[in-house]
Amino acid sequence: MEYSYLIKESADVVWKAYHSANMANVWSGRLISFGLLCSKWTDYILYKNSTDFCTIDTGQVFFINLRILCGIHNLPVGIQVVDIDDEDMSITLSYLEGGKSIGIQTIKLTSTPEGFTKVIHTSEFRSNSKIRDKRLYPFYHTKVLDEFHRNIALNISADRAIFFVLNRTSDLN
């Protein structure tokens, strides 16, 4: 699946927002809530109410909660940051082993001719359920990503007109 967003700000400013975002803030909303973050390389743990978040780094593992069916069902999800490429302006995330789904997600930033930033979020996933992969995952994943990327944009500016959903495509045939 591929999602495209437009943030009306330069790629350098947007990259800094993704790179230094407080995970507890950007993974919080109607459908998602942040649990905790820990680093595989340092003795660093960040809980939901912590205020001392540092920049995103490879080896960080964070846990979020998805509120499904208005909170009737809660699904914990573990994600690891596996690559950050400052030159390419991309971040690659992987689901943790043992979760409902396996796969990777890549967030890539590119500049537009107007001087804005196009954010391309690619998700490759699979689970042991065709119904989950074809119906449930795409529906909730779309809503979660829209919420996450909107939260990043709102960290740059409180003006909601800074953020636009451009495109969503799926190869779930």
56-115 per-position pLDDT tens digit: 899 999 999 988 877 688 888 999 999 999 999 999 999 998 777 789 999 999 999 999
pLDDT at 102: 86
Residue 171 pLDDT greater than 80, yes or no:
no
* Torsion on CA atoms 122, 127, 132, 134, rounded to nearest 10: 50
Amino acid at 67: R
Tell me which amino acid residue 77 is: V
Cβ(40)–Cβ(61) below 8 Å: yes
The proportion of the chain whose per-residue pLDDT surpasses 90, expressed as a percent, equals 54
Q: Residue 144 above 60 pLDDT?
A: yes
SS3 4: strand
Q: Which residue has the higher pLDDT, 14 or 25?
A: 14
pLDDT tens digit sequence for 114-143: 999 999 999 998 888 888 778 777 888 899
Q: What angle do CA 83, 148, 142 make, to 5 degrees?
A: 95
Average pLDDT, the chain: 89
Over range 31-39, report the average pLDDT: 90
Q: Is residue 11 scored above 90 in pLDDT?
A: yes
User: Which CATH superfamily is 2-169 part of?
Assistant: START domain (3.30.530.20)
- CA–CA distances in Å: residue 46 to residues 10, 35, 80, 101: 29, 9, 14, 24
Residue 128 and residue 114 in contact, taking contact as beta carbons nearer than 8 Å: no
Amino acid 115: pLDDT: 96
Q: How high is the pLDDT of residue 128?
A: 83
